[in-house]
Amino acid sequence: MTSPRPPAPESAIAECLAHLLSREVALGPECLRFIDSTFSNPTAASIARLLADESDPERDGLLELLLSPDEEHRLAVEPLLESAAGDVDEGGIAARLAGAVDRVRFSLPEGRGSFAAELTPALAHGFVAALALGRRIPEALRAALRSIEDERERLLAGVTVRHAGLELTAARTEILCRMVGRPEPGGPAFRDCLAFALELLKSVDTEDALWKFLEDRKRRLVEALAGLRRQDELLARAGFEVAQSCGRRLGYVDRDAAGRELGFIDRLCRSVFGRVPHAGLDRFETAFELGDPLRD
């Protein structure tokens, strides 16, 4: 009989988050872009005045944006979750965090100064809830993720899985384990493919349904690319005006996005089924480079 694993480390998680929030936080590009576009490149002093004015309708939204976890926070707590057992008490973590951190200081770039935001119990609760600490990764999938040698990439893959909002049934877990089992699965391209698979599995949860969807999707993508190629050839020969005068509807396909998705489809099919679906258009398939983006 195996000994039980230690309880979820609420105190360790709260201490880790408190340490990160006790340091001055440099605003990320997305947050900074929102602030500058919404408030016309404000100074640190004007942001501080806005945050102090409870009657300002923009205040609550800005506080939620500022006090939202970023990649650094998610990566920091992931190792603690890997070794935890049982449910995580998010309320307890939020209470500890609010008690340890009174205010969080943020810095603007290019010497524009810094300002502080109060970490109220409600904001601490929202911060912790956004970390999705209660979403557990099945042990079989966690074991498969350990095949990723780079620690940061392994943790990022775990973060990607937990934040997908997907119910990890036995069938879905088996599919993901096969996908992750491919040698050298780490890297940004792998995480993009993993996110693609997680989103797809929200709609299908059996191997038969997954194969049918991927087969149909590949055929449609190849047909769309083939049609775009014919359109390009027509425009090159006759020009835009002639094509329109003939009643041709000119379409648009994002070639890069379609190529990446085709690579993801083939990657998933090779991992899960040991084969790739036939698009049904041999003369068109050979006209495009449908390589696996993971090899780039």
Contact 181, 100 (CB under 8 A): no
pLDDT at residue number 284 = 44
pTM of the model: 0.78
CA distance 205 to 202: 7
pLDDT at residue number 250 = 63
What is the residue-level pLDDT of the chain in tens, covering all 296 positions?
455 555 457 889 999 999 999 999 999 888 999 999 999 889 999 999 999 999 999 999 999 999 999 999 999 999 998 777 667 899 999 999 999 999 999 999 888 899 999 999 999 999 999 999 988 899 999 999 988 888 999 999 999 999 998 999 999 999 999 988 765 566 778 889 999 999 999 999 889 999 999 999 999 999 888 888 877 776 777 666 665 666 656 667 788 898 999 999 998 998 899 899 887 654 444 333 334 444 44
pLDDT at residue number 85 = 66
pLDDT at residue number 238 = 65
Residue type, 63: L
Q: Where are the domains of the chain?
A: 10-129, 139-200, 207-295
> Which among 133, 158, 136 is positioned nearest to 145, based on CA atoms?
158
